[in-house]
Amino acid sequence: MLFHVRMNVKLPASMPAEEAARLKQVEKEYSQRLQREGKWRHIWRIAGQYANVSIFDVDSVEELHTLLTSLPLFPYMQIETMPLCRHPSSVREDDR
Ligand SMILES: O=C(O)CC1=CCC(=O)O1
């Protein structure tokens, strides 16, 4: 199951720089592990915003929920999800 996910990140201004840097590093490692596992298919920065657009490939809505709520930056994110299905005009065989 494919999902389009938008993540807007807002760290509190009061968060110490070292804690922000640590959280971002742990987030990066978590994200890159899921990308290597094929669960997190794409991640793109939204130009000019502390936000990303991602494509997740998961087995269930419950799995997506678990992956997203386990993000180290989850407490500081606003997340929007959109379920995707194959477009009849797609020429890409792996679009499912
Ligand atoms: O910087 C972001 O968009 C938040 C984020 C998600 C995965 C990651 O490595 O950073």
ipTM: 0.97
Q: Does 64 map to a domain?
A: yes
CATH assignment of the domain containing 23: 3.30.70.1060
Whole-angstrom Cα distance, residue 16 to residue 70? Answer: 22
| Whether residue 28 has its Cβ less than 6 Å from ligand 1 | yes
Q: Does 89 map to a domain?
A: no
Tell me the pLDDT tens digit for each residue of 48-75: 999 999 999 999 999 999 999 999 999 9
- pLDDT value of position 95: 73
Q: Does 39 map to a domain?
A: yes
Q: Does 74 map to a domain?
A: yes
Percent of the chain residues topping a pLDDT of 90 = 95
Question: DSSP 3-state assignment of 19?
Answer: helix
Q: Are strands 51-57 and 40-45 parallel, antiparallel or unpaired?
A: antiparallel
Q: Does 43 map to a domain?
A: yes
* HSE-up of residue 30 (Cα within 13 Å, Cβ side): 15
What's the domain count of the chain? Answer: 1
| Whether residue 31 has its Cβ less than 6 Å from ligand 1 | yes
Mean pLDDT in order along the chain per 10 residues (96 residues)? 98 98 98 98 98 98 98 98 94 80
Residue 95: count other Cβ atoms within 10 Å of its Cβ.
Answer: 11
- pLDDT value of position 88: 92
Q: Does 95 map to a domain?
A: no
Structural contact between residues 30 and 71, judged by C-beta atoms closer than 8 angstroms: yes
Which structural domain, as residue segments, surrounds residue 53?
Answer: 2-84
Q: Does 92 map to a domain?
A: no
28 Cα nearest atom in ligand 1 = 9
- pLDDT value of position 92: 87
Whole-angstrom Cα distance, residue 31 to residue 19? Answer: 18
Q: Does 72 map to a domain?
A: yes
